[in-house]
Chains A and B, each alone.
Chain A
């Protein structure tokens, strides 16, 4: 039962929606403060974020580096474009694999929803070439989920 809703908008965008049981102030901070970011923004099990820089102001720089502890790793750089605490973050980011992927402009909004927060994150969908590169970075852990999905999809075929 995943609360995460992931949809595509045409060929160019991905929209992620998720609710959190905490006010927008707390969710916003968790997205902006390095000490908090590196506790959760880690991807698959076993990865860590040895470098986490987020300058926290418009024009400020972002740099996140991930490591799988076995010599594998990649990093992301970006710039903050607009901030409206605690409701909106606009930033641009690119992965370095190590060649930089095309810039991905991400708009993240946090709207109070009862005692919690509804988050919406809208980002650009990387082109086919970039997606292949991203899949090849050792983040292919998604494969298991893929096959679980394949199994669900095939349910009606049996």
Chain B
């Protein structure tokens, strides 16, 4: 992609994102594929209006539609963000969840330990080692 094309594509992306209804449509699609009817549900606007928003989002490359009988379900386009951004967000998502679990694990270890409080650091260490499961 040339820098001119990249700039145009970015313009389209931002224009598409400038509208709050379209941002809410994207947020809904982040939870999974949805039909036009499902997308229209939470908004007090007509289905043609929703279809117009969907077209803008699709032209900006943010969402894709597939044909399923008479329905045209939408989902987020996998390439809407640069793959570096996607990678970093994937990493952030995985680590955030991991470290929340680690917080819980560490907290449960501390609970067991506070039963034998007020020790010096070395004593705590020895104590903990002794309390380890085999």
A, B in one complex: yes
Could you tell me which A residues sit within 8 Å of B by CB distance?
Answer: 2-4, 6, 8, 14, 16, 18, 20-23, 25-27, 30, 35-36, 39-45, 126, 128, 131-132, 134-135, 139-151, 154, 157-158
Q: A131-B83, A131-B87, A154-B18 are in contact. Are A20 and B26 (CB under 8 A)?
A: no
Residues of A within 8 A of B71 (CB): none
Is A154 within 8 A of B17, CB to CB? yes
Could you tell me which B residues sit within 8 Å of A by CB distance?
Answer: 14, 17-20, 23, 26-27, 29-31, 76, 78, 80-81, 83-99, 101-107, 109-110, 121, 125, 128, 133
Q: How far is the CA of A151 from the CA of B93 in the complex (A)?
A: 16
Q: Which of A4, A21, A128, A157 contacts B106 (CB 8 A)?
A: A21
Q: A4-B95, A143-B76 are in contact. Are A131 and B106 (CB under 8 A)?
A: no
Is B96 within 8 A of A4, CB to CB? yes
Query: Would you give the shortest CB distance from A17 to chain B, in whole angstroms?
Result: 11
Residues of A within 8 A of B84 (CB): 128, 131
Majority secondary structure of chain B interface residues (helix, strand, loop or mixed):
helix
* 3 tightest A-B CB contacts, nearest first: A142-B90, A154-B17, A40-B101
Q: Which of A22, A43, A147, A157 contacts B97 (CB 8 A)?
A: A43
Is A126 within 8 A of B102, CB to CB? no
Is A30 within 8 A of B125, CB to CB? no
Is B110 within 8 A of A146, CB to CB? no
> Can you list 29 A-B contacts (CB < 8 A)?
A4-B95, A6-B91, A14-B88, A20-B99, A21-B106, A23-B121, A26-B109, A39-B101, A40-B99, A42-B98, A43-B94, A45-B97, A135-B86, A139-B90, A142-B87, A142-B93, A142-B94, A143-B78, A143-B86, A145-B89, A147-B26, A147-B30, A147-B80, A148-B27, A149-B85, A149-B89, A150-B26, A151-B27, A158-B20
